[in-house]
Amino acid sequence: MSSHGSPIPMSSNACGPLSGVANVPGDKSISHRSLILGALSVGETSITGLLEGQDVLDTAKAMRGFGATVTEHGDGKWTVNGVGVGGFAEPDQVIDCGNSGTGVRLIMGAMATSPITVTFTGDASLNGRPMARVTDPLALFGTQSVGREGGRLPMTLVGAANPIPVEYTVPVPSAQVKSAVLLAGLNAPGKTIVIEAEATRDHTERMLAGFGAEISVEETDTGRVITLTGQPELKPQQIDVPRDPSSAAFPVCAALIVPGSDVLVPGIGLNPTRAGLFTTLREMGADLTYENEREEGGEPVADLRARFSPDLKGIEVPPERAASMIDEYPVLSVVASFAEGKTVMRGVKELRVKESDRIDAMAVGLRANGVEVEEGPDWWIVTGRGHGNVQGGATCASHLDHRIAMSFLVLGMATENPVHVDDAGPIATSFPIFEPLMAELGAHITRSAS
Ligand code: S3P
Atom of ligand 1 nearest to the CA of 179: 12
Residue nearest to atom 16 of ligand 1 (CA): 174
Nearest CA to ligand 1 atom 10: 327
The mean pLDDT of 202-221, rounded to a whole number, is 97
3-state helix/strand/coil string of 154-183: EEEEECCCCCCCCEEEECCCCHHHHHHHHH
* Closest C-alpha to 195, from 164, 238, 228: 228
The amino acid sitting at 112 is: A
Mean pLDDT of 221-236: 97
CA of 100 to the centre of ligand 1 (A): 10
Tell me how far the alpha carbon of residue 361 lies from the centroid of ligand 1, in angstroms. 18
156 forms beta bridges with: 119, 146
Q: What is the secondary structure of 300-342 as a DSSP string?
A: EEEEEEEE--TT-B--EE-GGGGGGGGGGHHHHHHHHHTSEEE
C-alpha 242 to ligand 1 mean position (Å): 17
pLDDT average, residue stretch 19-42: 98
Q: Quick one: CA dihedral 368, 369, 371, 373, positive or negative?
A: negative
Element (H, E) at 81: strand 77-83
Neighbours of 311 (CB within 10 A): 12
- Confidence bin at 4 (pLDDT 50/70/90): low
Q: Which of 223, 284, 232 lies closest to 253, judged by CA?
A: 284
The pLDDT of residue 1:
37
pLDDT > 70: percent of the chain: 99
Give the gyration radius of the chain's Cα atoms. 21
Interatomic CA distance for residues 234 and 214, integer angstroms? 10
The closest residue, in CA terms, to atom 13 on ligand 1 is 174
CB 426 within 8 A of CB 7: no
Q: Is 204 in the pocket of ligand 1 (CB under 6 A)?
A: no
CA 322 to chain centre: 14
Q: Which atom of ligand 1 is nearest to the CA of 323?
A: 16
361: part of which helix (H) or strand (E)? helix 358-368
Alpha helices in 47-146 (DSSP H): 54-65, 101-111, 132-141
Mean pLDDT (the chain) is 97
DSSP state of 88: P
Confidence tier at 430 by pLDDT (50, 70, 90):
very high
- Which atom of ligand 1 sits closest to the CA of residue 326? 9
CB 327 less than 6 A from any atom of ligand 1: yes
| pLDDT recorded at residue 304 | 98
Helical axes 402-412 vs 434-441, angle rounded to 10°: 20
The CB of 201 under 6 Å from ligand 1? The reply is yes
| Positions marked active-site | 327
Is the beta carbon of 196 within 6 A of some atom in ligand 1? no
Those residues with Cβ within 8 angstroms of residue 398's Cβ, 6 or more apart along the chain or in another chain:
356, 361, 404, 405, 408, 421, 422, 423, 424, 426
Spacing, Cα 259 to ligand 1 middle (Å): 33
Query: What per-residue confidence (pLDDT) applies to 294?
Result: 95
Nearest CA to ligand 1 atom 11: 29
Q: Is 179 in the pocket of ligand 1 (CB under 6 A)?
A: yes
Q: Which of 172, 201, 353 to mutate to test the pocket of ligand 1 (most atoms within 8 A of CB)?
A: 201
Three-state SS across 217-277? EEEECCEEEEEEECCCCECCCEEECCECHHHHHHHHHHHHHCCCCEEEEEEEECCCCCCHH
Strand order in the sheet with 379-385: 316-317, 340-346, 379-385, 372-376
Concatenate the DSSP letters of all residues of 392-418 into one string.
B--EE--TT-HHHHHHHHHHHTSSSB-
CA atoms in the 13 A half-sphere facing the CB of 391: 11
Q: Tens digits of per-residue pLDDT, 286-330? A: 999 999 999 887 789 999 999 999 999 999 999 999 999 999 999
pLDDT at 448: 81
pLDDT digit string (tens) for 127-176? 999 999 999 999 999 999 999 999 999 999 999 999 999 999 999 999 99
Q: What is the pLDDT of residue 298?
A: 76
What is the Cα 232 distance to its own chain's centre?
A: 28
User: pTM here?
Assistant: 0.97
317 vs 279: CA distance, rounded Å: 10
The CA distance from 210 to 91, in Å, is: 28
DSSP 368-391: HTT-EEEEETTEEEEEEE-TT---
Q: How remote is the CA of residue 186 from the centroid of ligand 1, in Å?
A: 20
Q: Residues 334-385: pLDDT tens digits? A: 999 999 999 999 999 999 999 999 999 999 999 999 999 999 999 999 999 9
Q: Under DSSP, is residue 430 helix (H, G, I), strand (E, B) or coil?
A: coil
For residue 397, report the distance from its CA to the centre of ligand 1, in Å: 22
Is it the case that residue 400 has pLDDT exceeding 80?
yes
Edge-to-edge strands of the sheet including 299-307? 19-21, 262-269, 299-307, 287-296
Give 271-282 pLDDT, tens digit per residue: 999 999 999 999
Q: Say whether pLDDT at 449 is over 90.
A: no
% of the chain with per-residue pLDDT over 90: 96
What is residue 450's predicted lDDT score, i.e. its pLDDT?
A: 46
